[in-house]
């Protein structure tokens, strides 16, 4: 917890809005007034099996503009803030939850991360949930655009496009005009492939360049690097709406 506390304090100190305003951060994240203070000061967390809770931390990291991986020491300090849209302002909904996307088995960021840890990053462990994710090839060193392997029929992108269409999604990624955004995506997938996981709170407000759909949403994006016994490495994208 030492790295967690230190990096959480660094993120707060670097935030123009929340520097010196720990109670305000707690309130804006929809948690108890002393929650963030206790995260920084309570030594009982060092032996806690539950920890601070991934959904609480997803709200807090979203407001601070850092990733969960940064707080636990698995990512370098951020060079950019996560963009906050209409769904992630100071009055963010207190019940940040995962969208089930029609599955009988509940899926959440916490479950995805635990499953990856327990399985050692084996794709076989994610078989029941593959319809709810998109699969990407790990970016090579000189790649400038993501390459889609498959689109899950119940994934967030499939619901957004109206169908699970690999070519449509790939075409949209290829035609994105924002080069910095494309570079960030490629870097995020490369990080997930290298480190195993990357879970962030994201906002999109863009027009699909090859489809009459305006994408405007806030969502939790969990990227998971996996490999099968008889298959090459892939990065799974589990994206769940912030409701």
Residue-by-residue pLDDT tens, the chain, 243 positions: 677 788 888 888 877 788 889 999 988 888 888 888 888 887 666 555 555 666 778 788 888 877 777 777 766 555 433 333 433 333 233 233 333 333 444 578 888 988 999 999 999 999 999 999 999 999 998 899 999 999 999 998 998 888 899 999 999 999 988 899 999 999 999 999 999 999 998 988 877 777 767 778 888 999 999 998 888 999 999 998 876
* Alpha-carbon span 138 to 140, nearest angstrom: 6
> Are 153 and 55 in a shared domain?
no
**Residue 84 pLDDT:** 37
Residue 46 belongs to some domain of the structure: yes
How many domains in the chain?
Answer: 2
> Are 163 and 226 in a shared domain?
yes
Residue 102 belongs to some domain of the structure: no
**Residue 110 pLDDT:** 83
**Residue 45 pLDDT:** 62
**Residue 9 pLDDT:** 87
> Are 41 and 126 in a shared domain?
no
The closest alpha carbon to 133, from 104, 167, 99, 110, belongs to 99
> Are 115 and 164 in a shared domain?
yes
> Are 66 and 138 in a shared domain?
no
**Residue 166 pLDDT:** 96
Domain that holds residue 14: 2-71
Determine the 3-state secondary structure of 100 from DSSP: coil
**Residue 116 pLDDT:** 92
The closest alpha carbon to 98, from 54, 44, 65, 143, belongs to 54
The structure tokens listed for 69 are 């991986």
> Are 196 and 119 in a shared domain?
yes
């Amino acid at each position: 917890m030492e790295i967690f506390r230190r990096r959480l304090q660094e993120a707060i100190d670097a935030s123009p809005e929340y520097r010196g305003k720990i109670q305000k951060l707690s309130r804006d994240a929809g948690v108890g007034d002393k929650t963030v203070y206790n995260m920084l000061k309570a030594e009982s967390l060092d032996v806690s099996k539950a920890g601070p809770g991934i959904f609480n931390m997803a709200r807090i990291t979203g407001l601070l503009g850092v990733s969960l991986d940064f707080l636990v020491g698995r990512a370098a300090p951020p060079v950019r803030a996560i963009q906050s849209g209409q769904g992630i302002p100071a009055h963010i909904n207190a019940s940040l939850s995962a969208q089930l996307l029609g599955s009988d088995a509940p899926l959440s960021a916490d479950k995805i991360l635990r499953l990856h840890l327990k399985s050692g990053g084996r794709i076989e462990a994610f078989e029941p949930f593959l319809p709810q994710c998109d699969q990407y090839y790990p970016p090579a060193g000189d790649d400038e655009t993501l390459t889609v392997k498959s689109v899950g029929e119940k994934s967030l992108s499939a619901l957004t496009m109206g169908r699970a269409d690999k070519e449509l999604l790939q075409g949209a990624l290829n035609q994105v005009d924002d080069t910095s955004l494309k570079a960030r995506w490629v870097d995020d997938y490369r990080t997930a492939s290298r480190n195993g996981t990357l879970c962030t709170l994201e906002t999109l407000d863009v027009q699909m360049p090859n489809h009459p759909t305006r994408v405007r949403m806030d969502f939790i994006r969990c990227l998971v690097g996996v490999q099968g016994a008889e298959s090459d490495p892939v990065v799974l994208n589990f994206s769940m709406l912030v409701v």
